[in-house]
Structure 1
Amino acid sequence: MKQGSLRPKARILRTLGAELISSDKVALVELVKNAYDADASVVCVEFKGPLVVGQGAITVWDDGHAMDEATLESAWLDIGTNIKKQRTRSVKGRRVLGEKGIGRLAASRLGQRLELVTRTALSDIELTLDIDWSEFDNDEMYLDEVQIGWNSGTPIAYSERGPAAKIFEFCFQDGWNRGRGTSICMSGLTKTWDRESILELRTALTRLIRPKPAQLPFDRHGKTVPPAAEFRIYLTFDEKAREFAEYAGEISAPEDLALPHYKVSGCVEADGTGSVIYEQLNPPYSSVESDCVMWHYDSQPRCGAFSFELSVWDRDRQALQDSLALINGTKASSSQLKVFRETLDDVAGVSIYRDGFRVFPFGEHGNDWLGLDLRRVQNPTMRVSNNQIIGSVFVTADGNPDLQDQSNREGFLASPAYADLIKLVLAALGRLEKNRYDARRRDRQSSAEFKEGGIFANFDMTDLKEVVRASYSQDQKLLTFVDNKSRQVEASAREVKTILKRYSRLAVLGGLVDRILHDGRNALARIVDAVEFGREDIGAVDNSDCYQLSDISLRYFDKIGVASEVLRALFKQIEPFGGRKRGRPKRMRLDAIFERVCDLFDSEARSKKVALERENVDIDVSIDEADLQLVLLNLVDNAIYWTARQSDDEPKVVTISGRINQDETLTVCVKDTGPGVERGCQDRIFEPYYSEKPDGVGLGLSIVGNIVEDIYGGELTLLDNPEGQGALFEATFRRRVQ
């Protein structure tokens, strides 16, 4: 068998440039991205006129790490290199943007000739590479026949007073990395640049600039300092291109991001208290909270004091159109909305600044160190995702000494201090999310409408049938059709109720499994220990000493028996949630169910210093044990959570009780001495996905309400605690209770 290899013609390079780089604007943006990947702090795109085909030049200057001779040969001249896919972070920790290895193809699209000059830091040589792209237009030459050469010599472009220094000084006074960088000059332009194309370039480059925080961080001496500019882009035009002078200057962040829909800012003290300012675009609203409690744990947070600024946008069409109309004065088109969403995708994230300098990779594209996307998946109604937020957290080296960098520059070391910082930032964001929920609630069904008749009230077609009968009483075909459809809807509603009930059980079952695994492992460990130690003790005794052998065996059998009882109790708690079919509910004592619920939460309550009590009730009741237990588990879990957040000098008590009412309905009560429910939140807490917990899913009370109201025809009610501070929830079961 004969073999051969593919041998591309030289012109394929020009073809690839046209195919992979869609426009000259995209080509220049690709070169600027490469400068960013090289850890440049500044990039200057210099236009030399006349900017018409065959004349003029465009030079991209940067102050990045540059290339030595080995890198130039092995990386820059290697078309399609995967070096950036292998190394996704720059030396400084930036997430690399140009991952395709096609920067040199971008250069081939822009001009007929290319001159690349590069000098690494502290190097006494400067490399210069020249390419005449017309050589790649020769139909007779193969790609490997085109030779590219470079020279090395004394630094000129990146010398102390060379052209690079002059161009950077022309842009701004100081702040660049002197004596290093790369310039790529493309001369003999392949297209004519006009005002529209220059404006499109400026607009595209704005998406590479992250919006600067409005507030100023503090340095290690407690003084405010402007955040260090991590990446700057400038456009300059020479005298022959002076007609574009109005577009010269620094590229700033997109103006469309100047007005977030929601914004929260403030500071958190070392003890977990803080001050929070909330601002809202539509409807206009703002609030200021001082000395608010951001930390709800016994021990003091270990991260130290910090300040923050978090801006959030809704991404739905109407919200974006409203905000863009305020900024631009006109209704936004579909293409403008698309561009805005893409821009937000590029710059979204929460950055961390330490003493005014950005800490990488926090806030980089795709870096979700707060776990916002997972929170959003768990609670899509209330939580925001990472692509909706642009934020900054400001710390100091002296004020936050326990926030230590990883050696690979991939953020902070996992530590209690870092975990506490995440909790506090989420607590601040939670205040924004709570207000955002209220602002968006006007477009949703009110809490009263939600609760009245349960969530299945909208499945009732009685009104529709009456209207049809009144208006079309002679149309028997229509009446029959509506009756049939009504029966189908009612049957579907019953099926949905059954499925929802099943999944309500599964939702609580997940929490039960965690507790059973925890307590079950402890019980199993005690059994294993008893067996091992028993064997050792028995092995150390003379086999003829039956009395001592019996005594040792009985002692360890007792230990195994105690642990076995724990396992038996755990299995009994989960038994009602089994999948097997059950007949009519058994008659059982109410206080027995209370006892099982208290046993389940006993370890958690004691660890949180909460007294879990139950009133003795002499009541026999026939009810689905799983349903009642599920209701109590959700209510008690919430009660323990909030009661545990009280200070140790205040009472921490959760009480379960029950009663049979005069109409023979059953009411169970869960009362606590926690902070209670704020007046403004008392209706909202019953809505799906609303939660006051920073990481809450917001389904607990919704599940309970569904069971009590839709299945048992009862009601779930929040009452004022008659004994003072705290909350009192009452669940009344009206149907299917004997």
Structure 2
Amino acid sequence: MNEDKCNSCHNNPKEKHSDYCIKCNKRHESLSEDSFSFSFAARTIDYFGSQAISTDEAALFELIKNSRDANAKKVTISFDSISSSTNSTITVYDDGDGMSKKDIKETWMVIGTNHRSIHTKTKKGKTVWGEKGVGRMACHKLGDQVNLVSVKNKERIDMDFDWRRYENTTKSFDEIKFKSTVKPTKEEAGTTLLLTNLKSKWTSKRINDLKIELSRLIAKGSFEDTQIIIKTGNETGDTIGKRFTKLLESVTVHAPLKLQAKFYDGDLTIKILNQFDDGEWENQPLTNSRHFEKSIIGNFTVNLFYLPRAPSKDSAHELEKYYERKIKPQGRESLEDFLSDQVGIYLYRDDAWMKPYGGLNDWLHMAENSVQNTGDVRLSQIYGTINMTKKGNPEIKTTSHRESMLKNASWHDLIEIMGLILGEFSSYQKQWKKEMPVKKLQKIPDSTDNSPEEGIDSMSKNLLKTIRGFKINPNQKSHVKLMLDGIVNLSKNQTENSEQRVKDMGVIRDFEKNLATLGIAASVTAQEVAGSLEDNMELLKQGEKMKLDIEKEGRPLTPEEIKQSDIIIEKMRDNQNKMLHFMKFVNTLSLHISKSIGSSNQLTQVNVKNCWDTVSKGFESTEDELGVTRWYEWDIPDGFSGKSSEDLIVKFNKIDLECILTNLHINSLTSLRKSKLPKKTITVHYWHSDNTLHLAFKDNGIGIHEKKLEEVFEPFKFGVNNNSRTKEMHGRGLGLYIVKKIVERYGGQIKAIKTANGAKIELSIPEIKKVGT
């Protein structure tokens, strides 16, 4: 461009062109009638201020962010005249870099500035917290008016803003101007915002809640970078984080269980510390170990602290004693104080909490998981942090209103990985809880392996020996001995009664297993019966419609309608038979359970094949629906002695055998329903050898993962949800657990085996007499 054109441009502003102007040092856009540009109405300010920031507390945190990014060492928020409905004020002061007139014009007054995306670090090398360039609009959220005073390089600038000027006007956003006053000063650098005509009332309680919330919003390390003080009136003020940091350290340092996880370059590692039992950090072999090759999420770390309470917070419980002894300054009281405000798992990015992801916000679905998987870590029992950086995870970011996260691929990766971490932690703490009572008993001094009666006698002798050392007359000693004999006899009677109750409890538990099997079978049956009833109701509707049409038209049945009627009747008959069949099976199982409860001698002669026929026929329609072929095998495998027989008869509890076969059968049908194989099979192999009954139950369903072969026998571990639309089987993961308990009661063994196609359950029950074939 030549100089003439440049001069022409400046001499004739209305004739601007799209060429680059050397004198202007920018490109002028054409203002012809064919070109348009966006402009904002003045009322748009609401979208950046009061409507974009959900709470006043969040708005104050935005102003703290700005101060911290401006290298402030100290930020003071003062609330004055809070009891007044008209004169209350908020003052936010920081000793940061301050702003010059140029800074205010080109940065503070520019909505959505990219200043922080260019200047990404503070002077201490910390990543800045601001990112959207709209933080100063928090002033609009808090009050109608703001007085800005900023000092930089011994120059002071004063400005007054009245946000109400943007209301009820036809002006555009950039047509509303604010005057500034600049003068030299000896004041230190910094910025003060005086907010007046506040939009909401601040009470002492609300200010105290603000202190608690700010303690959550900022990670422990950042309190050392920037001191934040909240004060009311002439008070000295409270330093945010000071008390919380001490309490946090005292509680988390002594958490019974701790977890540290690291996700780095697609690999997840987890280690857990059992501090309650004075353990050491242990690396955890992951149940679902895999390299997240397709994960988009970047690196992050996780710290979890498990803080369970004893039942009813019983002070005599070992857990509560541990807390009282370890946590300073006030033991369990300090723990209560911490848990009242700080439970949950908090997501931090560059030491700033990504609110609302933490606290009682169950963003990781822990409550739902603890209901579905009994014993999982609950939200109320845990404190934790997820720590990441903006640089390492640029896609983990808030939406425009800052109160939720963008649900992108990185976010879904984070949720999935956290699910794995919490799953591992839950598995560990379940085992720890199981072992806790045993370890507690092991700590009790025990000088004898004798029976309870012998132990009581030993205790009696020791007491008498002690009493003899007392300075009491012979008559008093005689009375004491009589009293002691009475206590010993009473203790022995109570011991005998307790042993009998334990035996009775064992019988009750056996009945519970049988009843649980009946419940599982009834649940499956109810689903099948419900399906048949629904089909019949639909068929009845078709028949009624056909009848109404015929009556309305006053004509005889057509050949097609006769054929359709026959089909409807046949289908209804089939459904009726199916319902009766299932109900008969449940009735049979109920009858056998009832007889077993009332019978003193539960062992009877049982034909294994007939017992299996009774069970399998109960689910015949399900087998037909799935296309399942049922096979029998009764040959003696290599390595076993004995004579094979199809009609093997043994001395056994019939209902126990039916419960075993019912649960194994339902388990196989559930697996086969999920299988995509066209030919589905169930094979039952039974034989008797060396006074032992052997059963092998095999199917070619979806199988069992090798790492889960032991876990399949744990209760509630692999339950499935009922889905009436897909006819998915009922179940809560009790079937194989019940089978295992029945087998173990007989002193037998059971194991799960992964096969080439499907899975096999093998069990052996000793001391079972063969009475015929």
- Given the two structures, how large is their TM-score scaled by the length of structure 1? 0.53
Q: Distance in 1 between the 2:527 and 2:210 partners?
A: 54
Say if 1:275 and 1:291, in contact at 8 Å, map to a contact too. no
Counterpart for residue 279 of structure 1? 272
Q: Distance in 1 between the 2:385 and 2:328 partners?
A: 30
Q: Which amino acid aligns with 1:336?
A: G
Say if 1:40 and 1:62, in contact at 8 Å, map to a contact too. no
Say if 2:344 and 2:384, in contact at 8 Å, map to a contact too. yes
Counterpart for residue 707 of structure 1? 742
Q: Which moved more, 1:482-491 or 1:701-710?
A: 482-491
CA, structure 1 residues 238+519, in 2 after alignment: closer, same or farther (shift >3 Å)? Answer: closer
Trace 1:189-204 onto structure 2 (pairs within 5 A).
none
Query: Shift of residue 559 of structure 1?
Result: 0.7
Trace 1:313-352 onto structure 2 (pairs within 5 A).
313-316=306-309, 331-332=326-327, 335-351=330-346
Say if 1:669 and 1:728, in contact at 8 Å, map to a contact too. yes
Answer yes or no: is 1:209 the counterpart of 2:222: no
Q: Distance in 1 between the 2:576 and 2:353 partners?
A: 56
Query: Shift of residue 315 of structure 1?
Result: 2.7
Q: Distance in 1 between the 2:626 and 2:180 partners?
A: 71
Query: Shift of residue 558 of structure 1?
Result: 0.8
Residue in structure 2 matching 1:718, options 751, 766, 770: 751
Counterpart for residue 99 of structure 2? none
Bigger RCO of structures 1 and 2 (CA < 8 A, at least 6 apart): 1
Structure 1 residues 208-232: Cα deviation after superposition (integer angstroms, max 9, x where no partner): 6238779xxxxxxxxxxx9999x99
Query: Shift of residue 658 of structure 1?
Result: 4.0
Counterpart for residue 533 of structure 2? 524
Trace 1:175-186 onto structure 2 (pairs within 5 A).
none
Q: Distance in 1 between the 2:495 and 2:324 partners?
A: 45
Say if 2:260 and 2:272, in contact at 8 Å, map to a contact too. yes
Q: Which amino acid aligns with 1:372?
A: M
Secondary structure, in 3 states, of the residue corresponding to 2:594?
coil
Counterpart for residue 674 of structure 1? 703
Trace 1:596-635 onto structure 2 (pairs within 5 A).
596=617, 599=620, 614-616=631-633, 618-619=646-647, 627-632=656-661, 634-635=663-664
Say if 1:67 and 1:119, in contact at 8 Å, map to a contact too. no
Structure 1 residues 398-442: Cα deviation after superposition (integer angstroms, max 9, x where no partner): 9999999999979999x9999998676433311122233455555
Counterpart for residue 382 of structure 2? 389
CA, structure 1 residues 301+403, in 2 after alignment: closer, same or farther (shift >3 Å)? Answer: farther
Structure 1 residues 310-347: Cα deviation after superposition (integer angstroms, max 9, x where no partner): 5131435756876898xxxxx44683232124313421
Query: Shift of residue 368 of structure 1?
Result: 3.3
Say if 1:208 and 1:346, in contact at 8 Å, map to a contact too. no
CA, structure 1 residues 237+213, in 2 after alignment: closer, same or farther (shift >3 Å)? Answer: closer
Counterpart for residue 612 of structure 2? 591
Say if 1:352 and 1:363, in contact at 8 Å, map to a contact too. yes
Q: Distance in 1 between the 2:629 and 2:337 partners?
A: 52
Structure 1 residues 220-245: Cα deviation after superposition (integer angstroms, max 9, x where no partner): xxxxxx9999x99536899997xx99
CA, structure 1 residues 258+489, in 2 after alignment: closer, same or farther (shift >3 Å)? Answer: closer
Q: Which amino acid aligns with 2:660?
A: V
CA, structure 1 residues 658+549, in 2 after alignment: closer, same or farther (shift >3 Å)? Answer: same
Answer yes or no: is 1:263 the counterpart of 2:280: no
Say if 1:720 and 1:728, in contact at 8 Å, map to a contact too. yes
Counterpart for residue 11 of structure 1? none
**Structure 1 unaligned blocks of 5 or more:** 1-33, 45-58, 73-117, 128-152, 163-168, 187-200, 215-225, 326-330, 450-460
Structure 1 residues 515-570: Cα deviation after superposition (integer angstroms, max 9, x where no partner): 34433332222212222223444555676559777544332111111222332233
**Structure 2 unaligned blocks of 5 or more:** 1-53, 65-75, 89-137, 148-159, 164-177, 182-187, 310-316, 443-448, 462-481, 635-645, 722-730
CA, structure 1 residues 333+485, in 2 after alignment: closer, same or farther (shift >3 Å)? Answer: same
Say if 2:715 and 2:733, in contact at 8 Å, map to a contact too. yes
Q: Distance in 1 between the 2:233 and 2:302 partners?
A: 40
Trace 1:543-692 onto structure 2 (pairs within 5 A).
544=556, 551-576=563-588, 578=590, 581-582=594-595, 589-593=610-614, 595-596=616-617, 599=620, 614-616=631-633, 618-619=646-647, 627-632=656-661, 634-635=663-664, 655-662=682-689, 665-671=692-698, 674-678=703-707, 682=710, 691=717
Say if 1:523 and 1:566, in contact at 8 Å, map to a contact too. yes
Trace 1:150-161 onto structure 2 (pairs within 5 A).
none
CA, structure 1 residues 543+304, in 2 after alignment: closer, same or farther (shift >3 Å)? Answer: farther
Q: Which has the larger radius of gyration?
A: 2
Q: Which moved more, 1:398-407 or 1:425-434?
A: 398-407
Q: Which amino acid aligns with 1:558?
A: E
Structure 1 residues 586-637: Cα deviation after superposition (integer angstroms, max 9, x where no partner): 956133145257658759989xxxx886535534658666544443455566
Q: Distance in 2 between the 1:598 and 1:642 partners?
A: 14
Answer yes or no: is 1:372 the counterpart of 2:372: no
Counterpart for residue 10 of structure 1? none
Q: Distance in 2 between the 1:286 and 1:174 partners?
A: 51
Query: Shift of residue 386 of structure 1?
Result: 0.8
Say if 1:303 and 1:420, in contact at 8 Å, map to a contact too. yes
Trace 1:402-417 onto structure 2 (pairs within 5 A).
none
Q: Distance in 2 between the 1:280 and 1:161 partners?
A: 59
Residue in structure 1 matching 2:419, options 416, 426, 432: 426
Q: Distance in 2 between the 1:291 and 1:478 partners?
A: 53
Secondary structure, in 3 states, of the residue corresponding to 1:718?
strand
CA, structure 1 residues 661+213, in 2 after alignment: closer, same or farther (shift >3 Å)? Answer: farther
Residue in structure 2 matching 1:309, options 296, 299, 302: 302
Q: Distance in 1 between the 2:493 and 2:400 partners?
A: 67
Secondary structure, in 3 states, of the residue corresponding to 2:215?
coil
Secondary structure, in 3 states, of the residue corresponding to 2:269?
strand
CA, structure 1 residues 706+720, in 2 after alignment: closer, same or farther (shift >3 Å)? Answer: closer
Q: Distance in 1 between the 2:195 and 2:283 partners?
A: 43
Secondary structure, in 3 states, of the residue corresponding to 1:263?
strand
Say if 1:658 and 1:669, in contact at 8 Å, map to a contact too. yes
Secondary structure, in 3 states, of the residue corresponding to 1:279?
strand
Say if 1:597 and 1:632, in contact at 8 Å, map to a contact too. no
Q: Which amino acid aligns with 1:708?
A: V
Q: Distance in 2 between the 1:361 and 1:604 partners?
A: 49
Q: Which amino acid aligns with 1:661?
A: H
Structure 1 residues 172-220: Cα deviation after superposition (integer angstroms, max 9, x where no partner): 999999998889799xxxxxxxxxxxxxx99996786238779xxxxxx
Counterpart for residue 49 of structure 1? none
Secondary structure, in 3 states, of the residue corresponding to 2:216?
coil
Secondary structure, in 3 states, of the residue corresponding to 2:259?
strand
Say if 1:267 and 1:274, in contact at 8 Å, map to a contact too. yes
Query: Shift of residue 277 of structure 1?
Result: 2.3
CA, structure 1 residues 423+599, in 2 after alignment: closer, same or farther (shift >3 Å)? Answer: farther
Secondary structure, in 3 states, of the residue corresponding to 1:669?
strand
Trace 1:67-146 onto structure 2 (pairs within 5 A).
120-121=140-141, 124-125=144-145
Say if 1:520 and 1:566, in contact at 8 Å, map to a contact too. yes
Residue in structure 1 matching 2:513, options 501, 504, 523: 504
How many pairs align?
Answer: 546
CA, structure 1 residues 596+212, in 2 after alignment: closer, same or farther (shift >3 Å)? Answer: farther
CA, structure 1 residues 560+348, in 2 after alignment: closer, same or farther (shift >3 Å)? Answer: same
CA, structure 1 residues 477+262, in 2 after alignment: closer, same or farther (shift >3 Å)? Answer: closer
